[in-house]
């Protein structure tokens, strides 16, 4: 039990360490570009390249975590990262930075470890908050973005990079000795897991949402330091501090997003998130003054942080048996969401001389996500209503205003013997037993019209000809204008009586 309690702080701190390494190139880029004389396009590629492996590897790492456990995945990943970090410290060319940056992407891929491992230790109603706490490991990017330029101004960027090797060695050992050796394992083959989820629309909707929320976080993290220096002519350390503020705010709101997802409807939370990002993108597209630009960036930080936490509340909710692979796919899409924007912004700036189109694209993707999440919200409500109808113990029959049957549930079939296909489009008179005269039915509809419902005992006939008694309630269903659109009959069979 003690070992299990250590996993949340241990894995969260491990993510902090991993993300500290993941953004080392973007944080030090103002120093590196002067030393190696990089062009703007080369800068964009070097700062974005760690996101590639950090995204693609999240899929197998999520799967391997289920199979081998977080202890092994964290330990091996940190040990492996010692090589590319040392290689970057020796880099003297653009190609060296690309190679080292690509391999450093492993430090971003370890995100899949915790979101797959930690939910195993907590009940579902706490998954949003727990994954939000773990996701606060994003703070590692703020630590590096703030501290690395300060240290580099004193000892140089190469020596600063080498300091991270101590951090990596420490966390490789911490996970090896303190990780849970008895973590529950899931050995379902990777291909089987992918086949079971890839056609699920919710998977790709969640991937889009995380592509936007986490992608925005990553993109702004790697894009802001150099942009603030080159566009607003800020000091390198000042640019690092401002970027660290963006990261800290987004990180602070991530567990809040998870908590909100636990307490309220996650789709409503995401509606607010995407509405905020839509407005922020429009504001940034006009390349305003530093003050307005700061407001726009902070609004993106809050929206991205809340969105990140909320999305990972939904993953274990919908995919409890395939959480490893789904966490990997969704988080990979989020990582890729951070790879393309810096490249696109650099390309558009070279083409047009400003960033307006790039930020407007952000607002439009956010708007599209808002529309999708509204659609999912109402689909969820319809799905709930359908599940209630399909799984209730009483028979249910829904007719249109003309009395033609539109829907029945399984309990209707169990009681009457009629399948849905045999009665849909027909009048309920198919069930009449002949034991009631016209006066009985006239009195029934009079009660419905005057009181809004009818309830009583009635004799009906099953498909096999057996006449049986049932307790029936008939109610009209009205739209917002007060017009009757349907009638609903709910019934249950009564014990047999003398006929």
Q: Do 51 and 336 form a contact (C-beta atoms < 8 A)? A: yes
Sequential pLDDT tens for the chain (499 residues): 566 678 999 999 999 999 999 889 988 988 998 888 888 778 878 887 887 788 888 888 888 888 889 999 999 999 999 999 999 999 989 999 999 999 999 998 898 898 888 888 888 777 777 877 887 887 888 789 888 988 999 999 999 999 999 999 999 999 999 999 888 877 666 666 667 677 777 888 888 888 888 878 877 877 787 778 877 888 878 888 888 888 888 888 988 888 888 888 888 999 999 999 999 988 888 866 888 888 988 999 999 989 988 887 777 667 766 666 777 778 777 777 766 676 676 677 677 767 677 788 888 888 999 999 998 888 877 776 777 777 788 888 999 888 899 888 888 998 999 998 889 999 988 899 888 888 898 888 888 888 888 999 999 999 998 999 999 999 988 876 678 888 999 999 888 655 4
In angstroms, the CA 150 to CA 19 distance is: 18
pLDDT per position as a tens digit, 205-246? 888 888 888 878 877 877 787 778 877 888 878 888 888 888
Closest by CA position to 376, among listed 271, 236, 450, 226: 271
- Which pLDDT belongs to residue 196? 67
State the pTM of this model.
Answer: 0.65
Q: DSSP code of 495?
A: P
Query: What DSSP assignment string belongs to 119-167?
Result: GGGS-GGGHHHHHHHHHGGGHHHHHHHHHHHHHHHHH-HHHHHHHHHHH
Give the three-class secondary structure for 491: strand
DSSP annotation string for 276-334: HHHHHHHHHHT---HHHHHHHHHHHHHHHHHHHHHHHHHHHHH-STTHHHHHHHHHHHH
pLDDT for position 79: 96
Write the CA distances from 97 to 87, 92, 221, 225, 259, integer angstroms: 9, 8, 18, 18, 39
List the beta bridge partners of residue 400: 486
Question: pLDDT at position 60, please?
Answer: 85
Q: Which long-range contacts (CB under 8 A, 24 or more apart) does 85-94 make?
A: 85/21, 85/24, 85/161, 85/162, 85/164, 85/165, 85/168, 86/162, 86/165, 88/24, 88/25, 88/161, 89/158, 89/159, 89/161, 89/162, 90/158, 91/36, 92/36, 93/36, 94/36, 94/38, 94/42, 94/46
Are 27 and 149 within 8 A, CB to CB?
yes
Task: Give the CA distances from residue 330 to residues 115, 231, 325, 340, 370, in Å, rounded to whole numbers and listed in that order.
Answer: 11, 33, 9, 16, 18
CB 454 within 8 A of CB 447: yes
Provide the pairing of β-strand 405-408 with 395-400. Answer: antiparallel
**Domain boundaries, given as residue ranges, for the chain:** 2-387, 392-493
Nearest to 297 by CA among 231, 357, 219: 219
CATH architecture of 2-387: Up-down Bundle (1.20)
d(C-alpha 370, C-alpha 271), whole Å: 6
Q: How far apart are CA 128 and CA 263, in angstroms?
A: 9
Class at the top of the CATH hierarchy for domain 392-493: alpha beta
Q: Report which of 64, 373, 93 is spatially closest to residue 210, judged by C-alpha positions.
A: 373
Check residue 138 and give its pLDDT: 78
Q: Residues 284-299: pLDDT tens digits?
A: 888 668 888 889 889 9
- pLDDT for 174 equals 95
Find the DSSP H helices in 232-289.
236-263, 266-285
What is the model's pLDDT at position 321? 62
């Amino acid at each position: 039990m003690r070992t299990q309690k250590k996993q949340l702080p241990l894995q969260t701190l491990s993510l902090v360490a991993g993300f500290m390494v993941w953004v080392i190139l973007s944080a030090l880029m103002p120093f590196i570009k002067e030393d190696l004389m990089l062009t703007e396009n080369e800068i964009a590629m070097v700062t974005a390249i760690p996101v590639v492996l950090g995204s693609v590897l999240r899929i197998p790492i999520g799967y391997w975590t289920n199979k081998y456990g977080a202890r092994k995945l964290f330990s091996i990943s940190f040990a492996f990262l010692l090589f590319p970090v040392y290689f970057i410290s020796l880099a003297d060319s653009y190609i060296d930075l690309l190679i080292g940056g690509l391999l450093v992407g492993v430090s971003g891929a370890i995100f899949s470890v915790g979101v797959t491992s930690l939910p195993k230790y907590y009940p579902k109603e706490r998954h949003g908050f727990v994954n939000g706490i773990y996701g606060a490991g994003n703070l590692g990017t703020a630590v590096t973005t703030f501290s690395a330029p300060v240290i580099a101004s004193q000892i140089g960027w190469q020596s600063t990079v080498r300091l991270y090797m101590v951090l990596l060695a420490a966390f490789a050992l911490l996970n090896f000795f303190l990780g849970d050796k008895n973590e529950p394992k899931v050995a379902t083959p990777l291909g089987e897991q992918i086949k079971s989820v890839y056609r699920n629309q919710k998977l790709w909707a969640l991937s889009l949402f995380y592509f936007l929320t986490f992608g925005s976080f990553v993109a702004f993290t790697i894009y802001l330091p150099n942009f603030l220096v080159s566009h607003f002519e800020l000091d390198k350390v000042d640019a690092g501090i401002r970027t660290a503020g963006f990261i800290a705010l987004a990180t602070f709101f991530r567990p809040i997003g998870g908590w909100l997802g636990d307490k309220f409807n996650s789709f409503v939370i995401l509606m607010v998130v995407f509405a905020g990002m839509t407005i922020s993108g429009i504001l940034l597209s006009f390349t305003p003054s530093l003050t307005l630009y700061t407001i726009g960036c902070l609004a993106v930080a809050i929206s991205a942080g809340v969105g990140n936490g909320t999305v990972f509340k939904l993953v274990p909710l919908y995919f409890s048996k395939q959480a490893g692979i789904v966490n990997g796919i969704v988080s990979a899409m989020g990582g890729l969401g951070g790879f393309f924007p810096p490249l696109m912004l650099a390309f558009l700036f070279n083409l047009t001389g400003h960033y307006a189109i790039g930020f407007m694209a952000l607002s439009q993707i956010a708007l599209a996500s808002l529309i999708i999440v509204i659609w999912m919200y109402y689909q969820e409500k319809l799905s709930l209503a359908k599940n209630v109808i399909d799984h209730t113990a009483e028979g249910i029959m829904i007719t249109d205003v003309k009395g033609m049957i539109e829907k029945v549930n399984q309990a209707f079939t169990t009681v009457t013997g009629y399948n849905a296909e045999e009665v849909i489009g027909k009048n309920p008179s198919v069930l009449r037993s002949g034991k009631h005269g016209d006066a009985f039915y006239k009195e029934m509809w009079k009660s419905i019209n005057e009181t809004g419902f009818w309830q009583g005992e009635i004799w009906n006939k099953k498909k096999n000809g057996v006449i049986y008694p049932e307790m029936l309630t008939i109610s009209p269903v009205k739209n917002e204008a007060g017009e009757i659109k349907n009638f609903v009959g709910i019934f249950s069979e009564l014990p047999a009586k003398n006929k």
